[in-house]
Amino acid sequence: MKSVKYKFLKYIGFDTKSDPESNTTPSTVKQFELAKELKREMENLGLKNIKLTDKCYLYATLPANTQKELPVIGFIAHLDTAPDTSGTNVNPKIIENYDGKDIILNEKENIILSPGDFKELKKYKGQTIITTDGTTLLGADDKAGIAEIMTAIEYLVNNPEIKHGTVKIAFTPDEEIGRGADFFDVDFFNADFAFTIDGGEIGELEFENFNAASLNVTVKGRNVHPGTAKNQMINSINIAHEFHSMLPNIMRPEHTENYEGFYHIMNISGTVDQTKMSYIIRNHDKNKFENMKKHVETITDLLNKSHGKNIITIEIKDSYYNMREKIEPVMHIVETAKKAMEDAGIKPEIKPIRGGTDGSRLSYMGLPCPNIFTGGHNFHGIYEYIPVNSMIKAAEVIVNIIKSIPEKQ
């Protein structure tokens, strides 16, 4: 299992950052480079039905080595890293026997990974931690997941005395920009259920996520010389401010946790003539989610009436839904994962995802797909890190799941 460290260090050497401005799939051609390397590794392991599509979806099968009637199980991770931070020339720092104190990531820029800012660090005192050098992200989201799946599969190949059913694996592009399931071939994958290996801290087990929508707001104004503007100028910036101020302050991400939903403004740009704002809307509860969208429509109507013109237009588009609805009928798969963690000496931490994964969409495409930890922390930024022991344990959990799948009833 210790080979997971070396696989991870190799995979983060590939720059696979996705691009939300691209209209292609994959959004960046460089994601193919990692996919091709993984395909070579799959071939060397003797996996079957290996397929790399023109959209950069990579599939493979570890055939069953038992005559028992076992469900087909799958494991999925994503190739891309987040566009928030550079993934070029990742230069990891390996901190052995971490002493529980500040870690200087970049002395020149005075970038410090401190338990004063990130209290979870203290949990890993005495362990080996892999960090960034303070100039890029690390890529544990989700190259740790890839490394853990490949390590588990390699372990099973090298230990054929461990009996198991058919195991499917898949690596997808563009998860970080919400497109990871766009061209996923559920029929070709042909699994009864699967797990995404895309969570955070060791022990995380998640089977519910946000219902999600995007909101784009356009405010039309009318520019007139400010010296003669009385009763003539319509300043779209001011009206945009009115709109934003009518959303409840308490429902911003910085004030919410656990099952609390939020409105999050992502971008605002404008002039007197026109202002545009983009938001995301999130809530685990479907009814509350629908009410949040209705509230936006109510605000729009009120402001259009008060200003005497239809100067505000909105576009609301649902992105994905809470997979809990699709997982609850097959909760035995969550119980299997929970036991696999306990057998590895890990206390399961079952909690809602304050976000989404490929699994949320795949669950609605007919492939129930809870999410399991990778062990990483502080994804998408220069303070990202991952303890090596957490990766080893993730690979162990994958093997335990595969070993413990009960026969079909």
| Confidence (pLDDT) at 1 | 77
Fold match between 3-208+322-404 and 211-320?
no
8 Å CB contact between 316 and 296: yes
8 Å CB contact between 390 and 373: yes
In the sheet with 93-95, reading across from the earlier edge strand, the strands are 93-95, 129-131, 385-387
| Confidence (pLDDT) at 311 | 95
| 204 phi-psi bin (left φ>0, alpha ψ -120 to 50, beta other) | beta
The 3-state DSSP composition of the chain as helix, strand, coil percent (nearest 5) reads 35, 25, 40
Active-site entry in 15, 133, 142, 175? 175
H helices of 159-254, in order, are 186-189, 236-245
| Confidence (pLDDT) at 175 | 93
| Confidence (pLDDT) at 409 | 64
Rounded distance between C-alpha atoms, residue 1 and residue 138, angstroms = 21
| Confidence (pLDDT) at 270 | 96
What's the CATH architecture for 211-320?
A: 2-Layer Sandwich (3.30)
Phi, psi of 376 (to 5 degrees): -80, 160
| 339 phi-psi bin (left φ>0, alpha ψ -120 to 50, beta other) | alpha
Rounded distance between C-alpha atoms, residue 35 and residue 54, angstroms = 11
Is residue 318 flagged as an active site residue? no
8 Å CB contact between 144 and 389: no
8 Å CB contact between 150 and 39: no
Closest CA to 150 of 33, 1, 345, 17: 1
What's the CATH architecture for 3-208+322-404?
A: 3-Layer(aba) Sandwich (3.40)
| Confidence (pLDDT) at 406 | 82
| Confidence (pLDDT) at 356 | 78
Q: What is the pLDDT along the chain (409 residues), one digit of tens a residue?
A: 789 999 999 999 999 999 999 999 999 999 999 999 999 999 999 999 999 999 999 999 999 999 999 999 999 999 999 998 999 999 999 999 999 999 999 989 999 999 999 999 999 999 999 999 999 999 999 999 999 999 999 999 999 999 999 999 999 999 999 899 999 999 999 999 999 999 999 999 999 999 999 999 999 999 999 999 999 999 999 999 999 999 999 999 999 999 999 999 999 999 999 999 999 999 999 999 999 999 999 999 999 999 977 899 999 999 889 999 999 999 999 999 999 999 999 999 998 988 878 899 999 999 999 999 999 999 999 999 999 999 999 999 999 999 988 877 6
Tell me the two tokens of residue 255. Answer: 């004030």
Rounded distance between C-alpha atoms, residue 10 and residue 38, angstroms = 11
Closest CA to 290 of 264, 314, 316: 316
Mode of pairing for the β-strands spanning 349-350 and 204-206: parallel
| Confidence (pLDDT) at 355 | 81
Could you tell me the residue ranges of all domains in the chain?
3-208+322-404, 211-320
Closest CA to 329 of 372, 368, 283, 284: 368
Burial of 199 (0-12, 13-18, 19+ CB in 10 A): buried
| Confidence (pLDDT) at 138 | 97
| Confidence (pLDDT) at 178 | 85
Is residue 384 flagged as an active site residue? no
Q: What is the pTM of this model?
A: 0.89
| Confidence (pLDDT) at 407 | 79
pLDDT digits (tens, 9 = 90+) for 207-244: 999 999 999 999 999 999 999 999 999 999 999 999 99
Which residue matches tokens 């990130």?
Answer: 118
